[in-house]
Amino acid sequence: MAGPFQNIELDGGQMAALYLLRYDEEGRLRSPQAEREVKDQLAAVTDVYLFAHGWNNVFAQALDRYHGFATGYIAQGTQFGIPRPAGSTPLLVGIIWPSTSFVMPWEGGPVIAGAPDPDGREAAEQEEMLGLVTESLSADDDESFVSAIDGQTSVDPVTARRLAEIVLNSLRTGPDPDDASPPPDPGELLKAWAALRGGNVPGPTPGTTFGTIGSGPSSGAPAAAALSFDPRDLLRIASVWKMKARAGAVGTHGVGPLVEHILRESGVRLHLIGHSFGARVVLSALTASSAERKAHAMLLLQPAVNRWCFAPRIENTGRSGGYRTVPAKLERPLLTTFSAHDEPLTRFFHLAMRGSQLGEPLTAAVGNTHLYGALGGYGPAGLDGDAVVQDAIVPGAASYPLDGSARVIAVNGTVNVTVGGTPVPAIGGHSDISNPVTWWALHDLTRPD
């Protein structure tokens, strides 16, 4: 799409252009004219704000979130009299990348209960997930996979293992880009699959149970012969893998060249904001850049990435996190939010994204949030003095410690803050990312003082 999609009013009657840039699933640019206009305007602007949405954001939703965040941020600046530098001219860029039309764990949580589906929505979601997953399969695997699950709500353990082997061979063939863990083997994937509905798969020791997503462990391990698996949950896990890889590709191959151009060919301050898997988009984009000039700031909102992604050494692997270089590519410390109220990232992420056991005790493998937990659910790990945890700040009350030694500031959104006289969680859920607390965090990162 050419030209600014919208113009958003700033204080004093000034306008900020909002451009939307589309990319396909491999990161190929689909809005070349709009990108040319963005590049042409770099000489006339002082700040570029680049936003990347998360999962389950079709075009209208992405536009609504970009517009809502921008207008809330602008209004808060006016409310608190936050100064903009003389002559400041911002440019807004929203990334539109192919996510999905159906609700996935990061936005609404997988469907755990077998509730009726009178409007056919769940059936439509299953069909879309099936297409997303099977597009990566060989012809033979596609036939076997579809034949085994088509119209099924339960498969036996032998069939489940065969399905697990198929998706692993196609979608999890190398180390995880976040935490460097090797892929799970089929048995480990079966344990995570069962745990999505609070079940357990027997371990090598009789009576051993594995972590679940419920309030506590189940009373015991069922006999393997009695266990059944809902194929919809495997589709959800595999769809998560696909979307994670897609977000990385869009960031590296699509947004990355634009970030590189902005840093090399202009002097504007670049501010990167990403939500959920959109955090992976902006992280991958900056990681891919070889420009010497740094981006000014990065704000990650409930990021769906592994909590060890910035670590110099990941526990049990000796490797560094996939985004270890990012904090050093920023002028200001990286701010990232996390919240215990984010059910998808505290209850589901580590089940879908877990790698191999890495030698830890088997009883901890499935529910291991220490190694496989989400940055947006539990905060960063493995950074020691390079990271600090800071309770979310009430807008106007204080500022984040941007002048300290920490290169990553984890904003605890679990705490209550009083906004408008009412105490509310700073971040009440995975998609609660356009609110006074997050606008204030961005103001702290971008204000001239």
118, with CB counted inside 10 A (0-12, 13-18, 19+), is: exposed
- What is each CA distance from 187 to 61, 159, 161, 190, in whole angstroms? 38, 12, 7, 5
Domain boundary among 243, 267, 299: 243
Strongest mean pLDDT among 206-220, 287-301, 306-320: 287-301
Domain boundary among 189, 213, 243: 243
Q: Report if residue 79 sits inside a domain.
A: yes
d(CA 326, CA 60): 30
Higher pLDDT, 333 or 103: 333
Residue indicated by tokens 């371990």: 203
Q: Are 285 and 413 found together in one domain?
A: yes
* Amino acid in position 322: G
Q: What residues contact 295, with CB distance under 8 A and at least 6 apart? A: 259, 263, 270, 271, 272, 286, 329, 330, 331
Q: Are 96 and 68 found together in one domain?
A: yes
Mean pLDDT of the chain: 85
Higher pLDDT, 28 or 98: 28
Higher pLDDT, 84 or 191: 191
In this structure, what DSSP letter does residue 273 have? E
Q: Contact 126/232 with Cβ under 8 angstroms?
A: yes
Q: Report if residue 109 sits inside a domain.
A: no
* Amino acid in position 245: A
Tens digits of residue pLDDT in 209-248: 222 222 233 333 333 444 679 998 999 889 889 989 999 9
The token duo for 35 is 């990108």
Q: Are 276 and 418 found together in one domain?
A: yes
Its domain, for residue 168, covers 121-243
Question: Is residue 134 pLDDT above 60, yes or no?
Answer: yes
- What is each CA distance from 166 to 197, 228, 443, in whole angstroms? 21, 18, 47
Q: Report if residue 114 sits inside a domain.
A: no
Q: Report if residue 22 sits inside a domain.
A: yes
Domain boundary among 208, 243, 278: 243
| pLDDT computed for residue 167 by the predictor | 95
Q: Are 96 and 134 found together in one domain?
A: no
Tens digits of residue pLDDT in 98-126: 876 555 544 544 443 445 555 566 777 78
Q: Contact 439/73 with Cβ under 8 angstroms?
A: yes
Q: Are 237 and 321 found together in one domain?
A: no
Question: Is residue 140 pLDDT above 90, yes or no?
Answer: yes
- Residue range 2-30: mean pLDDT, rounded: 89
Q: Are 253 and 231 found together in one domain?
A: no
Q: Are 218 and 257 found together in one domain?
A: no
Q: Can you spell out the DSSP letters for 90-114?
A: EEEEEEE----SS--TTTT----S-
| pLDDT computed for residue 129 by the predictor | 85
Look at the chain and report how many structural domains it folds into.
Answer: 2
Q: Are 239 and 222 found together in one domain?
A: yes
Q: Contact 340/346 with Cβ under 8 angstroms?
A: yes
Q: Are 17 and 95 found together in one domain?
A: yes
